Amino acid sequence: MIDRSRSKPLLANDRPLKSRVRKPRDPSQPNLPFDPMPERIEPCLALLKQKPPSGPQWIYEIKFDGYRLAIHVDHGRVRVITRGGHDWTERFPAIVAAARKLDVATAILDGEAVVLDEEGRPDFGALQQSLGVRGGRLPSDAILYAFDLLYFDGHDISGMELSSRRHLLESLVRDEGGAIRLSETIEGSGEQIFETACSHGLEGIIAKDRDSAYRSGRTGNWVKIKCVASDSFMIVGYERSASARGQIGSLILAAYRKGVLAHVGSVGTGFKEKQMVELRGLLDRLVTKKPPVAIEGRRPDVVWVEPTLIAEIEYRAFTHDGKLRHASYKGLREVQDNAAVFKIDD
């Protein structure tokens, strides 16, 4: 069982997996001219791989199951920007308060907002519940695991190598129990770290090239390896069920293939009773007579809806005919956050 008093679940009882000792920042920094603070930096995204890379150039971190956020600190003013560029400052008051206490005048932190379960693991469903129903805009008690620093004390440091950015980040984020915590790097082989992460019920790990600059998009400098696949799919309808709560038997899902939505199967597990009732209310406002996707066979019990809601789905794999295997519902993604709907590689 994971020690809930610690913020590093993989380090419990696993001696080979040790984080590096943090060193204080060198106070004698060069006096460089100030760089303008950017309004927004497009995030660096991880490329999905089946196996973790190995070699001395790679560092490893936990893959957190939450919302990607950039925290902008500017002389006491704090902004929380989502991956899609939306301002969610009001939705994360605890993170904002913690950012104001950081010992820095200006900074941009990159990280993931999560809600932890009783065993200290990120719980996406709990995060969704804390944020409220889609559009509800409730303030969340989520915490942020910071894993990169892009702007620091008036200087754009995104062009520095990751190891140097991490060194500065570690000097800045030191409260292991606060609303902003450091995403620790873990020492050991990638395969061993990945196996341990999966055994602890975590989503997976991230491997990063320690010598790489911060580059927006999927450049391959960051790699993600998932224990169980989890991606975003468009809800295009639901199958009626007289016995199920909310009268939803399953959700009909779609992904993009060459820019067009394609049917990828359905999901009928993972729902909580309250979620089903809320979903039915949202879906009934989107009902349409025209199917958004082509689907085989006649489906008299399907209610088609406009492709607006995006669901996060956990699954094992795709079948030979392109359908999801062992799919389980995790929660809704925010449409205004431009969640990346899964794209099928042809």
Q: Kindly report the CATH number that applies to the domain delimited by 229-337.
A: 2.40.50.140
Among 317, 249, 279, 268, residue whose Cα is nearest residue 128:
279
User: Which residue type sits at 323?
Assistant: K
Which of 63, 208, 226, 330 is an active site residue?
Answer: 63
Check if 63 is active-site: yes
* Euclidean distance between CA atoms 239 and 241, whole angstroms: 7
- What is the pTM assigned to this prediction? 0.74
- Condensed to tens digits (0 to 9), the pLDDT of residues 209-232 reads 999 999 999 999 999 999 988 899
Give the whole-angstrom CA distance, residue 244 versus residue 261: 27
- Rounded-to-integer distance, Cα 323 and Cα 132, Å: 30
Provide the CATH topology of domain 9-19+40-226. Answer: D-amino Acid Aminotransferase; Chain A, domain 1 (3.30.470)
Domain ranges in the chain are 9-19+40-226, 229-337
Query: In a 3-state reduction of DSSP, which class is residue 281?
Result: helix
* The two three-digit tokens of residue 59, written as one number: 């560092």
- Extended beta strands in the chain, E state: 47-48, 58-62, 67-74, 77-82, 106-114, 143-152, 155-156, 180-182, 204-209, 222-226, 229-240, 248-257, 260-267, 302-304, 310-315, 317-318, 324-325, 328-333
Q: Which residues of the chain have pLDDT under 70?
A: 1-32, 133-138, 242-246, 297-298, 335-339, 346
Q: What is the pLDDT of residues 312-321, one digit of tens each?
A: 999 988 888 8
- The structure tokens 């939450």 sit at 66
Q: What is the CA radius of gyration of the chain?
A: 21
- Predicted confidence at residue 308, as pLDDT, reads 92
